[in-house]
Structure 1
Amino acid sequence: MELLLWIVVPVGIVGFLIAGFRQSSGRKARMEARILDLGRKGFRATHVLKRGGDSVLFDDERREVAFVTWDSTHRFSYGDVRTRTWHWLDKNGTKINNRISIAIANPQTPLFDVHMFGARDAEQWMAKINAILEGEPG
């Protein structure tokens, strides 16, 4: 009986890990396909923010921003962006759980969150997003 547990438990764990990896790979492939589809429709990403399952792409020529996940794609003009905010939790003076929230003038999809690698990553991207959106057209 004990030998059976030594066999069944590791096999179950490996099966669980493989299933999770396959699901993650499938989602990543669907997100990449959505990004390629944007390109086929004339969207030229001049700046790309990819974090986890979220991508934010900026097209400076068209002055459009696209939010892409494995299951959806949303495109807006730069003028539709209302606010962008850097959020974090303070843990003994260290900024953790960093994310950037971008609010859009659209009642169906008013807010997009991108979880960042860390405080420095979020700070740099906030500066970059501000420069992109406040820059002169074309």
Structure 2
Amino acid sequence: MSELTRIPAPEGVAPAAQYSHVVLGTGRFVAVSGQLALDEKGALVGEGDPAAQARQVFENLRRCLSAAGATFDDVVKLTFFVTDTAHLPAIREARAAHIPDDRLPACSAVQVAALVRPEFLMEIEAFAVVDG
């Protein structure tokens, strides 16, 4: 695990939700492409169910990070692309299963008109920093 430093919100910048404003890291940069709610066979998980899709997306992120020798402890940035911001609580719940509040990365959430297929409710990408 690389050395990561989370910096609280600078004076005058109030956080809108649960995340770190700034995360500093030293080491190897890992970029994980946006993950969708697909299982290992490429089948959709949780059609119409944001909680099920969020759980699958975070499982896919975990697998991708692991392939790069990283864990969620190494994640410095997450970006959530959602078709409806009403899905954000489900994403936060799935995130909490992998990342404790004291290790939250920087995060951005973007509502989009659509994703690559209409049945996808969210896509999440991650950036991590690992040792050496």
| TM-score where L is the length of structure 1 | 0.26
Point out the structure with the larger helix share.
1
Give the greater-gyration-radius structure (CA): 1
Q: Which has the higher contact order (CA 8 A, sep 6+)?
A: 2
| TM-score where L is the length of structure 2 | 0.27
